[in-house]
Chain A
Amino acid sequence: MANLLLLFVLLINFYTLGSARLVACIRAVALQGALLALLPLAIHGPTGHALLLGVGALLFKGIFIPLLLLRTIREVRIRRDVEPFIGFVPTLILGLLVTAGAFIFADFLPLAHEHHEGLFVPTALATMFCGFLMLITRRKAITQVLGYLMLENGIFVFAVLLSAAMPLMVEAGILLDLLVGVFVMGIVLNQISREFSSLNTERLTALKE
């Protein structure tokens, strides 16, 4: 069950890397967050900690954050992304190379015995790299926010392995931070679009030296 969820997470990575429709990308990252919310339940069973964490993550990552982002793009009135710096198809190929690399690299890491053959560590690494890829190669500010969310999703996968180390309060705090962070980013995005009439970050190059 956990492996199936992780597989879907990886597929969503590819989908988001290759898609130009912003609403689809936002929904995909939201779905990724929601699937990851089910992950602690799939591994540790319905304990109180896992249940609260799952419900919290589902609410925040699956509902509130996408709502914020959808509202932002509605106010900013853009629906499509432009061609990334290296093109969609090369981005997808890079994403695949990075995923394959993550699988190979995870086999070299000195993991704890029970994590060796699983999909957890490769998925975490692959999602983080794909998030980075989106952050770096996309031009519109809002897809950069989506890249950041994907990066956080990847880190979350790794954190699920260590849920003993992360008490509930800290996890709740992290989710809250993420929500407020995206909220502030949404406000800044709004201001960017109002000033520059576009969310293209290539316009944000006035400050140099």
Chain B
Amino acid sequence: MLLFLILFPLVGAGIALILPWYQGRSWLLPLCAGLHLLLACLILLDPGPLGPWLGLDALSRLVLIVTSLLYLGCAVYAVGYLNQRRDRGNKVIVPCLLIFLAAMTLAISARHLGLLWMAVEATTISSAPLIYYNRNRLSIEATWKYLLLCSVGIGLAMLGMLFIAYAALVGGVTPVSLQFDSLLNSATLLSTPWLHGGFVFLLVGFGTKMGLAPLHSWKPDAYGEAPGMVGALLAGGLTSVAFLAILRAVQLMTAAGDGDMARQALLGMGLLSMLVAGIFMVRQPDIKRLLAYSSVEHMGILAIGVGIGGLATFGAMLHLVNNALTKGCLFLSAGNIQRAYDSKKLAKVHGAIATLPISGSVFLAGFLAITGSPPFGPFMSEFTILRGIFGSGHLWIGLLVLFMLAVVFIGMGATALTATQGEAVQLETDFKDSFLLVISPIVFLLIILVLGVYLPEPLQRALREAANLLEVTP
């Protein structure tokens, strides 16, 4: 069942390559995405045991449902978007998107670290053509930086995995295997210096993919130049998958008794990410780069949440969900704005609410959500994380986080308000907010609104299970 979930998007990709019908190819996306979500929900009702290669534990289940939901929204958006971009064609983007889905699902359900590596590298390779969709100088530059930086990063992650296997070898574990459950079971036997080295490299490698500072330099370029829905998928889906990979490393370290070192490393990188993001978000003239830095900031918040532990981990899990859906909403509406104004810079973009009522207001609402205003979901998750920080006595860290959140709010607010407020502008393009282009952002926004007010019981349970998985000590 799980194998089918992973493989059928590949079949869809194959069909998309040979199907000569343009609209048919576009509609293949929401079809596969809907089937994926359906199957994912069915699997979640009855997860089955963890196999040696594939399996869904609590963390994977959470990331799977979030990613699948986000993908469905972006797929529906894609039909409308690709209809508008007939000049660029969809013969490459549709198969690549489907392969990307398959790779993400494989990475989420991998129980063998080597398979995880393969899947994450596959996501890098399949998402490079997606960033290059616009085919101009800037997107080539962005694609090259993305490809090279992420490939090198993932190569380092592979080195980290080999160090962990070596830790098992030196520790006398037989048979030496990178199968995750067997590693967890024999975690206390692993040789400590090699385990630490492996963790550092895994953190650096998958941190590059996730976009934690100082490894984030490809993010503004890649998210800035990619089409809106690709940005949404990368910011919401791929970062969650990379975070999952890092969490596996944290799980291993915690099982080996060295959870503190792992948490401190995450805390440090998280704070640095928030700092860097805050600095670069002030006076940012490009709305998509703004969103990219916002993604860096929220990855920092996730890292801080896991780094503090306890209640903050629960908050981080909730934030994973909120961040993915809100980023989806923001990127999709920003994509609409960019298509309408034929530019993403503040020099040309202003008065979005007046010109494009739906997309503009959704963008503004998304900005309020992502910066943590109630009654939206991110407010609840950030509040929980802050409660966890102050509750465990880290006063200065909490104050710093609050300060950075304020800086981000001001910086992002300046740009977002300039873009959305103002009088209606006469558009040069004939862009209109069609149904397919706005339904996904609106749905995401509504979900975030609901999550901000009421956390349904099954979701609470799932989040708690996921958080508990990270606290398992020997």
Contacts and interface: CB of A to CB of B under 8 A. Distances in A.
Contacts, number: 119
Interface of B: 112, 114-115, 117-118, 121-122, 124-125, 128-129, 132, 135-138, 140-145, 147-148, 151-152, 155, 158-159, 162, 165-166, 168-170, 175-178, 191, 193-194, 220-221, 224-225, 280, 284, 289
Given A177-B118, A181-B121, A188-B147, A207 B158 contact: no
Given A195-B140, A207-B221, A111 B170 contact: yes
Given A158-B166, A174-B121, 19 more contacts: A110-B193, A110-B194, A148-B152, A151-B152, A165-B162, A165-B168, A170-B114, A170-B118, A174-B117, A177-B121, A180-B125, A181-B151, A184-B128, A185-B147, A188-B140, A188-B144, A195-B136, A204-B144, A209-B289
Interface residues of A, number: 40
A177 B140 CA distance: 21
A96 interface: no
A161 B168 CA distance: 13
Contact of B148 (A144, A162, A195, A207): A144
B152 A110 contact: no
Given A110-B194, A164-B175, A207-B224, A173 B118 contact: yes
Contacts of A188: 128, 132, 140, 143-144, 147
A207 B141 contact: yes
Contact of A206 (B138, B151, B289): B138
A135 interface: yes
A173 B115 contact: yes
20 contacts: A110-B170, A110-B191, A145-B148, A148-B152, A148-B155, A151-B155, A162-B166, A165-B176, A170-B115, A170-B178, A174-B114, A174-B117, A174-B121, A187-B129, A196-B140, A205-B141, A206-B138, A206-B141, A207-B141, A209-B284
A144 B144 CA distance: 11
A80 B221 CA distance: 29
Interface string A150-180: 0110010011011011110010011001001
A164 B159 CA distance: 16
A158 B162 contact: yes
Interface of A: 110-112, 128, 135, 141, 144-145, 148, 151-152, 155, 158-159, 161-162, 164-167, 170, 173-174, 177, 180-181, 184-185, 187-188, 191-192, 195-196, 201, 204-207, 209
B182 to A, nearest CB: 10
A162 B140 contact: no
Contacts of B124: 181
Given A174-B117, A177-B118, A184-B128, A207 B138 contact: yes
A155 B224 contact: no
Contacts of B132: 188, 191
Nearest to A163: B176
A129 B35 CA distance: 46
Given A111-B170, A173-B114, A188-B147, A165 B177 contact: yes
B125 A184 contact: yes
Which 5 interchain pairs have the tightest Cβ spacing?
A: A170-B114, A165-B165, A173-B118, A204-B141, A177-B121
B198 to A, nearest CB: 11
B152 A204 contact: no
Contact of A184 (B147, B159, B220): B147
A141 B147 CA distance: 12
B178 A181 contact: no
B165 A155 contact: no
Contacts of B143: 188
Contacts of B194: 110
B170 A112 contact: yes
A155 B125 contact: no
